[in-house]
Structure 1
Amino acid sequence: MNDYKEKILNINNDIENINNKSLYNFHYRYSGCQIEILINDKLILKEFGGNIGAFYTPIPINHLLSKDNPQKVKVIVKPLGSDYLTEQANFKIGFSYFESNNERYEEYHKDEDKYFLFQFNTHETVEFESFERKINIEGLPFYEKEFEFDSKILIENDFLANARDLRKINQDSLSQNILKKYQQFANGVNNKKNEDLYWEMVYSKVEYFAQANYLDKKSLEDIIKQSELLLNQANFPSIENNYKLTFYDNGKLVCFESTVDDLKLKGKSPLIATATNPNDPKDIYKKPIQFYFYMPKGKLKGKLKASFSLNLAASAD
């Protein structure tokens, strides 16, 4: 257990001048709609209307970039509770670039606009009575738009370049293996008998995210603290049969996504950490914990491996 904590802390030990590395970032706001945003067919955000989202501080996305340009962004917007998008449906997304991590922490808020590659929105702002609507999605049953931009940095993502298309293997066997992985993680928390496996899966979940986005020691320490909190205070109910097998990155990544009616949990992981407020038994905290799995090519019996958290910062996942 302590070995894996130490491995997390040392993920970027060999990187010199870590605060001078370049970063790409995602920003978003949305309300009154269902929304899904992908970059290079990897999920950043998926909401069915159970939440109102506002996260316009930079969310690092180097781990979602492809080795080959252009980088492709897709936005899909659907109505909420009706057949057509209403005037309440709005969103704003942006992608920014910092030549160094120092800019992100020290310079960004002094002049935010100069760091954006582009921003796209349904209206300029929702804080004022009058605003200029940038696009008109009202009355549409569906809205979709694609963007492209070129990355200026070298992205090494070899483990996915050499991953199998999981859509082409036996789906029943694949589902059983994924369910086993989720249950192993949950059992590590619930039973406290296999904490090594729990920390091994935490490590595999964050390793590439931390490497690609040049997380410093403090950020890695925060990941350990959050993981310890989950281990010590949460438990996982049994995974019920209300999920579907979902693929990303042209079949190279796979996960389960919930199909429950609760819009706050729909589309999230069915692996849900729960904790009860000791002062109010009716106050139950729920946090979906998502894993995306891949399988390297070239093995007769492929073994699923836990991949990075695609939306570690951007959503409840």
Structure 2
Amino acid sequence: MKNAIFILTALLIFPSCKQQNNSNNSKMSDLTSKNYVERMLNNIKHFNYEPMYYLTFRQNSCFSEILVNDIPVNKNFKEQSDEGTLDINNYIFKSGIQKVTFRLYPAGKVGNFDLSKFVSDTEMNIEITESDNDKKEQEGKKTMSYTTPITTTINPYGYSISKFEATGKTYYEASFTFNATVPYQFDSLSKGMDLRKQDPHTLEKKVIAFYKNQWEIINSKKVDDFFSFLELKEKECSQSVYDTRVDLEENLQAYLDPFTIENFKLEPLENYKMVFYGDGRIVCLELTSLDGKLRGKSALWGKFEREGLRAKFRKYYLYIPDNESELKILR
């Protein structure tokens, strides 16, 4: 993925693409694997100061989801204690107030510990920092930090006891905001339809058709068809992180993996549910499995052997622009 400085899981995630019209043979643009790098380079503007925003999290005794502007940036359903740092520029569409939301879930049985409910030391700490793109190695400027609240009581012996305020519960959600200033502006999300207002059955049929079509494109190794869906998402994402030629070449190779890994095999498109993000303007299909390796992952995925069994998940965050009718990839 783009410029993430911490990869949370051994499962590999690969980028996403655009929806086409009814014909499975039609293309969304003339973007191809051969012109991808040059096309994106011509689109990207560079600035004297290129702000990069990072989210660092530390969690304990729980599973979690973290969203920026109601778009998932991290899902952890495997490790009850974890930490990492992620760049989040891809989810910042314009300057102004940005919203971070996190959701905590019990981790269940962990060895001899019962974490089926939140315990006293359940915690999530999130810090937002800003750095210059050319000086990533330097410590960033802290923009915002948030830690789950604790309650303090005095026990019968006079000792102070602190515990997570939701101790004993099975779900916790909180949000906070921070201000970001970026030299680009994308109006795509704000101009998307509220898909929650669409007929759910009709919308679900569209989303499933989109996924099935992409499954066929990947399975049939139609590389040019595949790349024709990337343009909108790639133009915005590559600009938001100020990609260089080297970055784009790495992205290109990641996109090509399903077509170049000989033993890559798609899994059947099944056992999924339709999920909304982006305050209802984004929709996707996620697996319904509660297995920690699969929970919350994209319904379109495949496996391959490379020093052991690995998986690639195709992430699709789809939206419909106002006054249009077809689904397109936003992120």
The residue type equivalent to 1:198 in the other structure is F
Structure 2 equivalent of residue 35 of structure 1: 64
* Corresponding residue of 2:318: 293
Structure 2 Cα separation of the partners of residues 9 and 30 of structure 1 = 41
Shift of 1:252: 0.8
1:30-179 superposed matches below 5 A: 30-49=59-78, 53-56=82-85, 59-67=86-94, 69-81=96-108, 82-86=115-119, 89-98=122-131, 100-104=132-136, 106=137, 108=138, 112=139, 114-121=140-147, 136=164, 139-141=167-169, 142-179=171-208
Letter in 2 for 1:93: I
In structure 1, the partner of 2:6 is: none
3-state SS, counterpart of residue 13 of structure 1: helix
Instruction: Return the TM-score normalized by structure 2.
Output: 0.75
Is the strand fraction higher in 1 or 2?
A: 2
Alignment of 1:175-186 (within 5 A): 175-186=204-215
Q: Does 1:219 align with 2:247?
A: yes
Change (3 A) 1:167 1:5: farther
Cα 1:97–1:205 change in 2 (3 A) is same
Q: CA deviation at 1:48?
A: 2.7
1:122 to partner: Cα distance? 6.4
| C-alpha contact 2:45 2:239 (8 A) present in aligned 1 | no
Q: Which amino acid aligns with 1:274?
A: K
**What is the number of equivalent residue pairs in this alignment?**
282
Q: Which runs of 5+ in 2 are unaligned?
A: 1-29, 109-114, 150-160
Maintained 8 Å contact 1:33/1:49? no
For each residue in 1:251-288, what CA deviation from the matched residue of structure 2 results, as whole angstroms up to 9, or x when unmatched?
A: 111101111131211111011121034x8xxx421122
| Residue aligning to 1:284 | 309
The correspondence for 2:330, drawn from 283, 307, 313, is 307
Partner SS state of residue 158, structure 1 = coil
1:121 shift after superposition: 4.6
Q: TM-score, normalised by structure 1?
A: 0.78
Deviates more, 1:140-149 or 1:287-296: 140-149
Tell me the equivalent position of 1:127: none
Q: Does 1 or 2 have the higher relative contact order (CA < 8 Å, sep 6+)? A: 2
Q: How far, CA to CA, are the matches of 2:116 and 2:84 in structure 1?
A: 27
Contact 1:65–1:155 (Cα < 8 Å) also in 2: no
Return the structure number with greater helix share. 1
**TM-superposed deviation, 1:88:** 6.3
Q: Distance in 1 between matches of 2:178 and 2:163?
A: 21
1:180-220 CA-partner distances (Å, limit 9, x unpaired): 2222222222222x222212234444332112221111111
CA distance in 1 between partners of 2:196 and 2:68 (Å): 20
Query: Is the Cα contact below 8 Å between 1:29 and 1:93 reproduced in 2?
Result: yes
Q: Tell me the C-alpha RMSD between the 2 structures.
A: 2.8
Contact preservation (8 Å) 1:32, 1:49: no
Other structure's SS at 1:148 match: strand
Identity %: 25
1:52/1:183 CA distance change after superposition, 3 Å: farther
CA displacement at 1:3 relative to structure 2: 3.3
CA distance in 2, matches of 1:95, 1:29: 12
Q: Distance in 2 between matches of 1:2 and 1:76?
A: 37
Amino acid at match of 1:253: I
1:258 aligns with 2:287: yes
Q: 1:228 to 1:307 in 2, by over 3 A?
A: same
CA contact (8 A) 1:90 1:121 kept: yes
- SS state of the match for residue 28, structure 1? strand
Question: Within 2, Cα distance between the matches of 1:135 and 1:155?
Answer: 42
Match among 21, 29, 54 for residue 50 of structure 2: 21
Sort the Cα spacing of 1:8 and 1:292 in 2 relative to 1 into closer, same or farther, 3 A.
farther
CA distance in 2, matches of 1:135, 1:64: 33
Q: CA deviation at 1:137?
A: 5.3
Q: How far is the alpha carbon of 1:17 from its aligned partner?
A: 3.7
Distance in 1 of aligned mates of 2:181 and 2:95: 11
Q: 1:170 to 1:14 in 2, by over 3 A?
A: closer
Asked whether the 8 Å contact 1:122–1:134 carries over to 2, the reply is no
Q: Find the residue that maps to 2:283 and give its secondary structure.
A: strand
